[in-house]
Each structure stands twice: as C-alpha cells, then as structure tokens.
Amino acid sequence: MNLKTLILMSVIAVASMSAIQAETVTQIPGPFAPATYQTKQAALSQFDLGATGLNLQNFATTFENFTFASSGVVNSLSWIGQYEADSPAPVLGAGPNFQVNFYTSLGATAGSAIPVASYNIGTANQTLVGAPGPLAFYSYSTTGTPFNVVGGTSYFASIVAQLDYGVAGWGLAFSNIGTLGSVQDFGDVALTRFNDPINYAVNISAVPEPGSVAAILAVAGLVAVRRRRVAK
C-alpha cells in the first residue's frame, strides 16, 4: 500500500466516521445553569389528568423548534424540568409520565398542532439536578423516540407531563442557548398561543439512518478495492 492509498483511505475513514457520528442540537448548558424569562425559570407543559368540565386537560404545551444539518433518526432526547413551588416534593424515579411529540408544523392557531410522531414514555430517568434558583430542577432523558429528520428541515418537539395538576404542576426549563424563539399553547378553558423570545432546555441527538451508513461504508470499500487493484 503506497502513501497515496494510505492518505485516501484515511480521508475516507474520517469522512465515514463523521457521517456515522451523532449530531446533537444542544440547548442545555453544561453544567446546567438556569435561564430566566419574565422572572421565571420554566414554562408549564402539562396534560392535566384531573381536569374536568370546562377545564382543558391539554392546558399547557410548549414547543421547541430544531433543525439538523444532516438527515438521520432522532435517537436520544434529554431535557430539564421543574415542579411548581406548591407541589409536593416528587419521589425520584416516580415522576410523571411524559408524552413526546414531533411536528413538521404547528398549525395557524393554538391547539391545532398535529404531531407526525407521538410517544408515551415513563419517568424518563428523572434525576435531581439541583436548585440553583428558587425551585429545584430535574433532568430527564429517553432513547425511545425515534423520528426521521431531513437535513436542513425545521421541526418542532413537545414534551408534556401527563400529571394531575391538583397533584403537581410541571414545566420545561428555559434556556438561552440556540436560536431564540419558542411557542406555548396555554389556557384554562380556551387555548391561546404565545410566542416567546426564549428557548427550552432540550438536547436532541440524531444519527444517520442505518441505510445511509451502509451506503457510505460500501462506497468506501469499493474505492479501497479499486485502489488496491490499480496499485497491483
């Protein structure tokens, strides 16, 4: 194997590795530090299991937009949340169930967003982060929300606690990282859409689809074989 072949193989290997590597939209600072918006540190994002009558169950939903440079599949999601001050202290590991939805568009009016993928997940590894502010923060993560994304296309994700508001209120923490802009549909008996110049503390990772990885490796292999034959 001559030097030229070696260099070419190295370039192909590096290109393949970078293509296989996960791409992450990062909006959670490390180490975590709370962001403040209108004197608060989180926005309610909750489906009230105990609401009856005129009171809406889906009274609060936050949406965060994200875009990946390359096409792939979302393989992990993590976020930071907070319970309201008058809520009882949550039992670690027994937090609310969450619904994670992905959208290509939020619709024109509050409550009109229709998800293209929807997942019900458990306690999402609830872990106490600490209380750098007046209220404690908790971190959450899941790998159970696969979602195909196209590079350069903007999507939205919502993370909503499925929890009786009479038991506790839960919200998604704010973040100053990322392109400013988020949406919250909120209302007691009718929803109103709020566009806020703030982000939510959410990290979303995606890896290339298995088919794409296989194609890259196949091309790399063919090039390598051809180079070997030419060298002989």
Partner 1 sequence: MQIFKTLGFCFVVIGGLAIVYASPAEKTSVPSDYFVRSMDAADAALKPSEAVTLSDWEFTARSRPATCRFVD
Binding residues vs partner 1 (CB under 8 A) = 37-38, 40-44, 48, 51-53, 55, 59-60, 82-85, 135, 165, 169-171, 184, 186-188, 192, 194
DSSP state of 86: T
180 CB-contact burial (10 Å; exposed 0-12 / middle 13-18 / buried 19+)? exposed
Shortest spacing between CB 42 and partner 1, in angstroms: 4
CB of 71 to partner 1, least distance (A): 35
Nearer to partner 1, 102 or 186 (CB): 186
CB of 61 to partner 1, least distance (A): 11
- Closest to partner 1 by CB, 84 or 209: 84
Using the minimum distance from each CB to partner 1, give the nearer residue, 46 or 205.
Answer: 46
User: Which of residues 82 and 205 has its CB atom nearest to partner 1 in the complex?
Assistant: 82
User: For residue 3, how far is the Cα from the chain centroid?
Assistant: 44
Least separation in angstroms between CB 32 and partner 1: 16
Cα pseudo-dihedral 67, 96, 116, 145, rounded to 10: 60
Cβ distance to partner 1 smaller for residue 48 or 64: 48
State the burial class of residue 120 (Cβ atoms within 10 Å of its Cβ: 0-12, 13-18, 19+). Answer: exposed
Is 122 exposed, middle or buried, given 0-12, 13-18 or 19+ CB atoms closer than 10 A? middle
Comparison of 49 and 177: residue with beta carbon closer to partner 1: 49
* Structure tokens given for 142: 């899941």
Question: What is the spatial distance between Cα 213 and Cα 17, in angstroms, rounded to a whole number?
Answer: 9
Q: Report in angstroms how near the CB of residue 74 gets to partner 1 at its nearest.
A: 26
Tokens 């005129």 belong to residue: 54
Beta-strand ranges (E) seen in the chain are 23-26, 42-44, 46-47, 60-67, 72-83, 97-103, 117-121, 127-130, 137-142, 147-149, 154-162, 170-175, 182-186, 192-196, 199-200, 202-207
Tokens, residue 200? 């939510």
Nearest approach, Cβ of 55 to partner 1 (angstroms)? 5
